[in-house]
Structure 1
Amino acid sequence: MLVQGGCHCGNISFELTWEPDPSEIPARACDCSFCTKHHGVWTSNPAGTLSVKVEDESLLSRYFFGTRTAQFHVCARCGVVPLVTSTVDEHVYAVVNVNAFNSVAPSLLRPVPVSFDGESIELRLARRKRNWIADVEFVATGR
């Protein structure tokens, strides 16, 4: 299954290849203040591949907070946060926001609330390495 998504204005877009086709897509609704305010509901397929395009880098804002171990990719034009990356052992991992999907049937999404309060940095990075998308590519658009 090819999942396409991105921010509202199209400056940040992504394609997530999800193999095999999922019978459901986990949708983790983080309860931290940033995700709550931005409606961040995250998913990942560790066996998937993610290709990210940014049309205008000057309109890409990167935001860190809390443990500063995750980078939220925010479109400075429309304010949408379509993905988050984390570098673990010099490798980039990612999750994507299901609210940024373009054409996935809502019936495929399985929302579940999550809280990472109290999680140590070591456990957090190990979880990301295990559960986040490991094949992440940022594609130059030529602009």
Structure 2
Amino acid sequence: MFYKGSCHCGRVAFEFEAELTGAVRCNCSICSRKGALLCAIPHESLTILAWGDDLGTYTFGNHAIAHRFCRSCGIHPFAEDVRSGSDRSAYININCVIDLDTSTLPIFNFDGRDV
């Protein structure tokens, strides 16, 4: 299915195609603070429609994931695996997907704090 999403102000927008069968709630230090519900998709399935100075990046720990956020409204709509290669992933915050009723998806808890 085809989806579109954005940050709150719309300056960082994206679209992707995927079959959403559930979402992950991670308890790591950043995901728990953001309150994100994540779905992993192949990176090549993600198209970023807004970029430039509006999109900020935050990394921490081993810097394996680029957490993207809007510099204007502060919302974190997605993150990206920074590895090179074709097996990269993108992690969509499904709370930022337009017209998606997240209450219809099963939520899986992931212990990212102890990984």
> Common fold, TM-score beyond 0.5?
yes
Q: What's the CA shift string for 1:3-57, capped at 9, x where partnerless?
A: 1111000011111112xxx4x52211110121111112110234972111215x2
Change (3 A) 1:102 1:69: same
- Equivalent of 1:27, from 23, 27, 30? 23
Unaligned stretches of 5+ residues in structure 2: none
Whose Rg is larger?
1
Q: Give the TM-score of the pair, scaled to structure 1.
A: 0.70
Question: Aligned with 1:88: secondary structure?
Answer: coil
Change (3 A) 1:47 1:90: closer
Question: Aligned with 1:4: secondary structure?
Answer: strand
- Tell me the C-alpha RMSD between the 2 structures: 2.2
Q: Which residue of 1 aligns with 2:79?
A: 84
Q: What's the CA shift string for 1:31-90, capped at 9, x where partnerless?
A: 0121111112110234972111215x2122100012211000110111110110012234
Aligned counterparts of 1:54 and 1:93: Cα–Cα separation in 2: 19
Q: Give the TM-score of the pair, scaled to structure 2.
A: 0.85
Q: What's the CA shift string for 1:106-126, capped at 9, x where partnerless?
A: 34421111113443xxxxxxx
Alignment of 1:1-143 (within 5 A): 1-18=1-18, 22=19, 25-46=21-42, 49-54=45-50, 57-91=52-86, 92-119=88-115
User: Does structure 1 retain, via aligned residues, the 8 Å contact 2:34–2:76?
Assistant: yes
Moved beyond 6 Å, runs of 4+: none
Number of aligned residue pairs: 114
Aligned counterparts of 1:47 and 1:80: Cα–Cα separation in 2: 20
User: Does structure 2 retain, via aligned residues, the 8 Å contact 1:17–1:48?
Assistant: no
Change (3 A) 1:104 1:48: farther
Unaligned stretches of 5+ residues in structure 1: 120-143
